[in-house]
Every structure is written in C-alpha cells, then in structure tokens.
Structure 1
C-alpha cells in the first residue's frame, strides 16, 4: 500500500510503514511544508494499529539538508516534530544513504534506531551561518558523545557514517544499509506491539523529561539567533554562495 503527500511518501509492508522524504528542490530541507507533512504522516502512523514500526528515509542523495533558509519552519513547529518522533507509540528507524546537515541530525537524534550507508555524510553547520544547534540539541545531546558533539558543533566539520556510528549519531553503519536493517525490522515484526510501545516509553522517558524542561528556552534562543545580524550575514552569504564576512 502506498500513498503520497506533497513532500512525504508513505508505503506499508508487513507491519512496517516507510515514510520517504521527497522534496528534491530543496534537498529535503526542513521547510514549513515538509515539517507539516512529516508530522501529519507520523500522526497517521501512530493511530494505525497495523503499523508496528516506522522507517524514515529519503529520495536522492540527501536525507535532510537542515532548515530551509528560504521557507523556514516556525521553531515551535520544529520542536513539536522532534517531540512527535520521540513520543510516537511506534519505534522510528532512520535509513540514511545520503547527506545530513544541521536540523537533519536532530531528526536522527529523535529516532530510536538509525542506520547509515557508506555515502552518508554529516555536518552541524549552524555556526557557519551565525546560529547554534539550539532546538536540535534537545534530541542530539542524549545519544551523542559529548566531546565529539562539542567538536562538530563548534567547527561545522563534515564526518562520515563510521564516525557517526562511533559517536552515537547513528546506531550502526555499513556497506549496505538494507542489510544492516534486515535483522532490525525482523526483530520489530517479531515483537509484541504493546511491548514495543511500553519499551519505547521506558527508553524515552528521561529524554522527554529533559526535552520538556528545556524546549521553551532553546526555542527562544533559536529565534533570537536567527534574528541576529550574524545570521542575516550568514544566511545571505550561504544563499549567494560566498563566505560570510567573518571568515579569516
């Protein structure tokens, strides 16, 4: 069974619903439209008793390019989307075979399991456009090694799937992402639906507690930073394909 929203495709097979991000014009960047469509698709999955688990994947060579700088989502909508993934009563598994930038890493942090192939690449690029990974830190800090997160958040350096697995951004990495996921999906199909829901609730309880404690403060920080002079210069430079004025 398959159906299509403007930027998210939905397909279902043997208890697993696959949600495919498909917004090639902006490399699956988190636009207001994509955030809305993905949230709607997740709601449907959470309400469907036939859904045992959700796989989140993508078309093209980019899983998610981060926030859409031309059509950014409201920070509160982004917070709601990340919380939706954490609180969904179904496990969410990320399947990554392309590039992930900035806010896209927040999506991975919210997923219960994440697998990446050899062509996957990652970068926390916020500092390079004059902002900080504020909202996405709500989901990225819990699974990620603090020292590595400090390095990549402060420098914006790129890293590959093996490093992403080493530091906790991914659960696992390998030459064939579908081979990696085969035993995972088999295990999810063999699990009691109620047991999956209760186990996920157990595993995410502390994360959600901290999420709800910090969400308002970090949303405000994100809003302030995106309204700053540095962000205006950084975003303009990005869109014009040049370095910002602060680059030495």
Structure 2
C-alpha cells in the first residue's frame, strides 16, 4: 500500500500524505516512505521545490500509537526536511497534532487555510513534545510555545501564523501559496540551495547538539506507566486517570 502520493507540475514535486485509516499519523511505514520520496527529490535535478500536503481533513495526527516509528527515525526525517537542498513547503487544509507539528516546523515555508487547527497534545497522553522541539524551538515564539506545549490547547491558523508555526494563513491556501511557488520557480537552483543552507544552519546545529538527548527522553517517556495509561485512554476515548 502506497502511503505517499507523488505528482509534479512545473518543477515542483508534491508529496501527499495518504494514510486515511489513521489520519496520516506517523507510522514507521509512512516515515520510511516519506524519507525515500524526499531522498528522490533531493537527487532529481528536475525538482526545484517540494510541497508537502495531505488527503482528508487531517494533515497529520502525530505519532501512530499502534505502530510508532523509533525516535531516531523521526529525528532523521525531520533533519532530512531541514537539510534537503530544495525548499520544502507545507500546504495544510486540515488538523495538525503533536508530531505533525514537527513536520510543519521542519518545512521552510508553511501555509494553512482557515479550517486548519493545531495542538501539541503530548502532555495529555503522558509524554512530551521532545523530538519535534528540534525544529520547533528555533523557529517559533518561545512564550507562545510555553503555553501551548504545557496546556495542549487548540489554536487556529491565524494564531499559528502569529507565533511563527506557520508562514501564512488565508482562506484559500492555494492562493496564499501561488506567489511563493512562483518565486521558487523563478529562483536559480544553486542559489536556492545555498540560501536555504544559510537559513537552516542554526536549526541543524540544534539537531546536532540535542537530538540524542531528546530521542532518549522521548523513548523514556513513551515507555512510562503514565504514557501507557494516556495512550490507552486515548484509544478507548476516555479521560486518563489523572484528569481532575
């Protein structure tokens, strides 16, 4: 079963998360297939930029609790997006949760339509947004992240744009992205790669410094008793035992 759709128009490759049975959650299989598609884009001289989008009403529901990827695999995927020598643009028309926000933050440019919603739901199932902090902390407003990390509150596209989680929000995401994609098509390929390298250097330093520690933290939390209770409660559609 193919989990990543692929299409190309005028040198822009569109990769579509297409795993409707789990709301495009980050399963081990989806992470592996997306990494392979991105590697192909990196090597293809005909690809000027990559658009990452989705089927259905959810961009990505976070980690697949039934088949989660190892923390190291998610780190590698996020770093691959950041380090890809082509700009990666997120196109969102639905909900983004937990690990899906790491994908969003790893992209160079991200836009969402008015119906999109966002939430860091990790604390509500007994874990922390550890690995996804690698691209998020360098690129997003720290005071806002403190609120949304700690509470798991839902936020809309305008607020996500205000705090730097999105580049732009608008009623029509394709209209919002039209000048962006036009600009990328007008840019010289080597200039794009070198300019992206300038922009991502500090983010990659964060990966190199903190990835091992945050992967270990993620693995430790996911194996904890609280996480087992939180994930069980989520799958059973009930409140976990700590809710008061």
Structure 1 spans left out of the alignment, 5+ residues: none
Does residue 204 of structure 2 align to residue 208 of structure 1? yes
RMSD: 0.6
Q: How many residues align?
A: 244
1:137 aligns with 2:133: yes
User: Who is 2:69 aligned against?
Assistant: 73
1:159 partnered with 2:155: yes
Note the residue ranges of structure 2 that are not aligned, 5 or more in a row: none
Q: Is 2:94 the partner of 1:98? A: yes
Query: Could you tell me the TM-score, scaled by structure 1's length?
Result: 0.98
1:11 aligns with 2:7: yes
1:210 deviates by: 1.4
CA distance in 2 between counterparts of 1:227 and 1:190 reads 48
1:190 aligns with 2:218: no
Instruction: Report the CA distance between 1:186 and its aligned residue.
Output: 0.2
SS in structure 2 of the partner of residue 141 of structure 1:
helix
2:112 aligned with 1:116, yes or no? yes
Normalised by the length of structure 2, the TM-score is 0.99
Which of 121, 124, 147 matches 1:125?
121
User: 1:10, 1:134 → 2: CA distance?
Assistant: 30
1:97 and 1:143 mapped to 2: Cα distance? 21
Aligned pairs (5 A) from 1:80-91? 80-91=76-87
Q: CA deviation at 1:182?
A: 0.3
Give the aligned partner of residue 63 of structure 1: 59
CA distance in 1, matches of 2:138, 2:72: 20
Q: CA deviation at 1:133?
A: 0.1
Cα shift readout 1:5-63 (whole Å, capped 9, x = no counterpart):
71001101101000000000000000001100100000000000000000000000000
Residue 174, structure 1, aligned to residue 167, structure 2: no
1: CA distance, partners of 2:195 / 2:29: 32
Deviation at 1:206, TM superposition (A): 1.1
